[in-house]
Every structure is written in C-alpha cells, then in structure tokens.
Amino acid sequence: MPKQAIKHKSYFLALLLLVFVGFIMNISLGSEHITFKQLLAVITNNKLADQTWRYIILNYRIPKAITAILAGAGLSISGLLMQTLFRNPLAGPYVLGISSGASLGVALLVLGASFFGFQSTVSNSFSIIIAASLGSFLVLLAVVLIAHKMQNTMAILIVGLMFGSLTSAIVSILAYFSSAEQLQQFIFWSFGSIGNLSWQELGLLSLFISISFGLVLVNIKNLNSLLLGENYAQSLGVNIKKTRIIIILATSLLAGSITAFVGPIAFVGLAVPHISRLLFKRSSHQIISVASLLIGAIVMLFADTVAQLPTSEYTLPINAVTTLFGAPLVVFLLVKYKKISI
C-alpha cells in the first residue's frame, strides 16, 4: 500500500511541523511578546540579546515549552496504553487511580498539616512533587500487586476506579478540616501548572518518560496482538501476565511522574489517541503511538499558549483549557466519523 504510506508520511511531517510551530509560538507568546528575531538571538547565543529576555527564555519559557511537550506526549501514550489494555475507548491515564494517589499525597501534605498537628511551610514546590510522587507510587504498587493476583483485566479497571473514589473521599475529609488558605493551595495544584519546572526537574521528568517509552517500544508487537483480546493475544505468543504488568508500569510511570511535576491534566490522555485514530484511520501501535505522541505535544503546546492569555498578566488553569477546547473537538470528530474504537 504505497499510496497509504505516502499519506502517512505527509501526515507525520505536518505534525512534526506543527510541533515546531507550537514550540516557537509557545515560547514567544506570553505576558510579554518576544519576537522571533530576539528568540533567535538568544538561542544562537548572540551577544546583542537582551539579558532579561535571555533569562526569561532560558530559565522560564523554554523549560515550560519542553514540559508541555513531555506532558502532552506522555499522557497521550499512557492513555493509548490503557485503552488498548482494557480494550475500552473510555480509558485514560488516570483509570488506575494514579492521579488520585498523587492528589492524596498532595492533600496529606497541604491539607493534612494542621490535621495531623505538624507545622509545615509547603510553599516549597519540591515537597509537593515528592508528596505527589509518593502518592502515585503507592497506588501504583497496590495496582501492580493486585494485577498480579487477578486473572481478569477488567477487574483491575474496577479496582482502579475504587482507588480513585477512596482517595477522593479521604481528600474530602481532609478538605473539610482545612483552612481556606490551605484549600486554595490544594486547588491551585489541582489546576495543573507546567511553568514551574527547573532544568533539573525537567531532566528527572524526561528520564521517567524515556524509560516508559522504552517499555512501550519493546512491547509494540504485544500491544497490537492485544487489539484482538487477551485470549487471541496469548494464542499469538504474548505472555499476558508479564505484558499486563509492563503496560501498567509504563502507564503509571508516565501518569505518575507527569502528575507529580505538573499536576493532574485532564482530557489529553483520553482524547489524543482518538484524534490520532480518526486522523490516520489505523489501529497499529507503530503508527498510532507516534501519532499520539506528536498530537499530544501539539495539543499541550497550544493549550498552554492559550492559557497564558498572550499580552495579559493572567494565566488560566491549563487543566481547564485542555478540556475547554478538547472536549468539543472530540465530540465534533465523533459526530463526523460516527464511530469510536480502539
């Protein structure tokens, strides 16, 4: 099918171009507009570059744009993994309760401080990252342990949902006993923010994401077999138990690390795999995973650009922007193509 191959190639090129455009746009638009010329001067280390701009671009805007790419790509891949594992188009990165675990961690730190009677100064973003990581890691551990015992994959889905409900119940109780100030801090975290990462934190995030992508890559064949259901996958030579654990591990690493560093980001992980499938009209993971990765990066770059409300001092919560634009888009695509699949 050479004709189809050419079509796919041109789509991929167009998506790559959009990532690049989104990246430049994301860097240059913000509370202050930076022209492409100034940007180029900073990047090429030109001496004429303004030192203030230089500082903003190198320590704030570029890390933020890279965070957007990593978060968008990572969440989309983890959503794709969950949809394939559970063969359910409604699955997303958070179905295993990972983000609930993270939010429980943050809630315990921010809201639980007075509850448990210790004084904390949690203005420090790093302690929030650690709390969120610990929370999602504990949920991950529980899910993997249970997944190992369960024969039935669908049961894991329900266990994940139960974890989610359980943690939000605990968060509600904590919230009930918290001060307005603490509550505000927690809610701000749950809005999601991709702008606060240092280069070191970014390095750590990319490490986690690279490990997960590696796991996905070596399992790409097994993912395709899973499209036929677990029995057929096994009869095609897939070690179901092992593959299931690896997929859960990769998803948790992605969703867990991203949630820890930037907060819960809704919609992207669920919707981007669908956008990819509707665009390419394929299900093979060799194609859909690359497409999801690129489209996820584009969606986050553009969503963040909008969230910055260019030329204004205000920033919208990124979590709200992704949903605000994404949900109608998915509805439109569904109405147009009239079908949903994995």
Partner 1 sequence: MKKHRIKTSNLTVGYHNNNEELKILSAINFELKNNGLYALIGKNGTGKSTLLRTLCGLQTALSGTIVIDDKTATSYNALALAKKISYVSTERIPASNLSVFELVALGRQPYSNWFGKYKKEDISIINTALEQTNTLHLSNHKIQTLSDGQLQKVMLARALAQDTPIIILDEPTTHLDMENSVAILLLLKTLSQHKIILLSTHKINEIIPLATVLLLVKNNTLISGKLSDLGIQNALKTLFLDEILNFDTKTQLFYVKNNKLRPQK
Tokens of 7: 């079509």
- The piece of 134-142, 235-243, 258-266, 321-329 that touches partner 1 (CB under 8 A) is 235-243
218 binds partner 1 (CB under 8 A): yes
Tokens of 59: 């320590």
Q: Given candidates 46, 124, 165, 286, which one binds partner 1 under the rule CB under 8 A?
A: 286
Tokens of 310: 């260019």
Tokens of 276: 């990819």
**What SS3 class is residue 101?**
helix
In the bound complex, what is the minimum distance in angstroms from residue 177's beta carbon to partner 1? Answer: 42
* Alpha-carbon dihedral 122, 126, 131, 133, rounded to 10 degrees: 160
Do residues 54 and 42 lie in contact, with contact meaning Cβ atoms separated by under 8 Å?
yes
State the binding string over 303-332 for partner 1 (x if CB under 8 A, else -): ------------------------------
In the bound complex, what is the minimum distance in angstroms from residue 151's beta carbon to partner 1? Answer: 10
CA 131/CA 134 separation, integer angstroms: 5
CA 82/CA 265 separation, integer angstroms: 16
By beta-carbon proximity to partner 1, the closer residue of 33 and 281 is: 281
Residues 6+ positions from 283 with CB-CB distance below 8 Å: 224, 227, 277, 341, 342
Q: Given candidates 14, 158, 169, 228, which one binds partner 1 under the rule CB under 8 A?
A: 228
Q: Given candidates 36, 177, 232, 332, which one binds partner 1 under the rule CB under 8 A?
A: 232
Q: Given candidates 146, 166, 282, 333, which one binds partner 1 under the rule CB under 8 A?
A: 282
Scan residues 65-94 and list those touching partner 1 (CB under 8 A): 87
- The piece of 24-32, 53-61, 103-111, 216-224 that touches partner 1 (CB under 8 A) is 216-224
224 binds partner 1 (CB under 8 A): yes
DSSP string, 264-285: ---SHHHHHHHHHHHHH----H
By beta-carbon proximity to partner 1, the closer residue of 17 and 236 is: 236
Residue 155: HSE in the Cβ half-sphere, 13 Å Cα cutoff: 8
CA 217/CA 116 separation, integer angstroms: 44
- The piece of 40-48, 68-76, 110-118, 277-285 that touches partner 1 (CB under 8 A) is 277-285
Q: Given candidates 46, 165, 235, 311, which one binds partner 1 under the rule CB under 8 A?
A: 235
229 binds partner 1 (CB under 8 A): yes
Q: Count residues contacting partner 1 (CB under 8 A)?
A: 28
By beta-carbon proximity to partner 1, the closer residue of 128 and 238 is: 238
Q: Given candidates 65, 66, 238, 293, which one binds partner 1 under the rule CB under 8 A?
A: 238
283 binds partner 1 (CB under 8 A): yes
CA 166/CA 149 separation, integer angstroms: 21
CA 185/CA 117 separation, integer angstroms: 18
Amino acid at 186: F
Using CB under 8 A as the criterion, which residues of the chain lie in contact with partner 1 when the complex forms?
Answer: 1, 87, 218, 220-221, 224-225, 227-229, 231-232, 234-240, 277, 281-284, 286, 339, 341-342
